[in-house]
Amino acid sequence: MSTPHIAAERGQIADRILLPGDPLRAKYIAETFLDNAKEYTHVRNILGYTGTYKGVPVSVQGTGMGMPSISIYVHELITEYGVKKLLRVGTCGGMHRDIKLRDVLIAQAASTDSSMIRNIFGGTINYAPIADYSLLEKAVANARKMNLPVKVGNIISVDRFYDEDIDNDKLRAYGILAVEMEAAALYTIAARYHAQALALFTVSDHLLTGESCTAEERQTSFNDMIRIALETAIED
Ligand code: HPA
């Protein structure tokens, strides 16, 4: 069995998965954090691996960038491979003064300008894509246990990385903490197919200050986020 975008047999993918955008991040996570990781797909160079973390089977797979791309993988992972817990591990741009470079941020909700979400509901409903509460609660508790500070709140998932029309001041005024490009689709599709989803980020750049992380700084906060995500993924 395989799907158009994932070349794996059903049992090869664990029921809990970490989802970085970059396929090489998936390789890095598999090689650095998982035991006995084996590649299960490389269609379009989107790499997927399954291994174990503290003895529990966990997979990790790239999703590409943007909501159309992540939607394809999330749909196939849930509906064809039976994945139940999906944790996006990505980077975001900080937008708010409460958010600093290198912070780990968890998206309680993901506002969006996505036409994908609007197309589902038509013009009358403004759907609120939200994190699975049980994963959110566990992730915050795990971060506390590990003594790693996390911020939690509303973010925005946008369709355009280069967007000269977006009103960042208004978003900030309404408490949007950061910008990224995938979480709203992940939360919406997971809700539709009764799976649990959570999006965690490290703040790689900041829209207020114009700062961005060095590669080394990015790696340290990225590793902290991965540890929080893995500890959360293996809990039942
Ligand atoms: N915009 C959109 N997505 C992002 C950004 C950004 O500034 N930084 C990391 N992901």
The pLDDT, as a whole number, for residue 215 is 83
CATH code for the part of the protein at 16-233: 3.40.50.1580
Cross-strand partners of 107: 153
Handedness of CA 96, 97, 99, 102 (dihedral sign): positive
What span, in angstroms and rounded, lies between the C-alpha atoms of 176 and 23? Answer: 28
The pLDDT, as a whole number, for residue 94 is 97
The pLDDT, as a whole number, for residue 199 is 99
Q: State the closest ligand 1 atom to the C-alpha of 92, by its place in the atom list counted from 1.
A: 9
Cross-strand partners of 92: 203
Residues 185/120, Cβ–Cβ less than 8 Å = no
What span, in angstroms and rounded, lies between the C-alpha atoms of 129 and 89? Answer: 17
Global model pTM greater than 0.85: yes
Nearest CA to ligand 1 atom 3: 180
Give the up-direction half-sphere exposure of residue 208: CA atoms within 13 A in the CB hemisphere: 15
The pLDDT, as a whole number, for residue 67 is 98
Q: Which long-range contacts (CB under 8 A, 24 or more apart) does 32-41 make?
A: 32/223, 32/226, 33/226, 33/227, 33/230, 34/58, 34/60, 40/6, 40/7, 40/8, 40/9, 40/12, 40/13, 41/2, 41/6, 41/7, 41/8
The pLDDT, as a whole number, for residue 220 is 85
- Ligand 1 centroid–CA 36 distance in Å is 33
The pLDDT, as a whole number, for residue 20 is 98
Low-confidence ranges of the chain (pLDDT < 70): none
The pLDDT, as a whole number, for residue 179 is 98
- Ligand 1 centroid–CA 90 distance in Å is 10
The pLDDT, as a whole number, for residue 18 is 98
Spell out which residues line ligand 1, taking CB within 6 angstroms.
91-93, 158, 161, 179-181, 204-205
What span, in angstroms and rounded, lies between the C-alpha atoms of 228 and 138? Answer: 9
Polymer length in residues for the chain: 236
Q: pLDDT over 90 for what percent of the chain?
A: 94
Q: State the closest ligand 1 atom to the C-alpha of 181, by its place in the atom list counted from 1.
A: 3
Q: Which long-range contacts (CB under 8 A, 24 or more apart) does 49-57 make?
A: 50/12, 50/13, 50/14, 53/230, 53/233, 53/234, 54/234, 56/16, 56/233, 56/234, 57/14, 57/15, 57/16
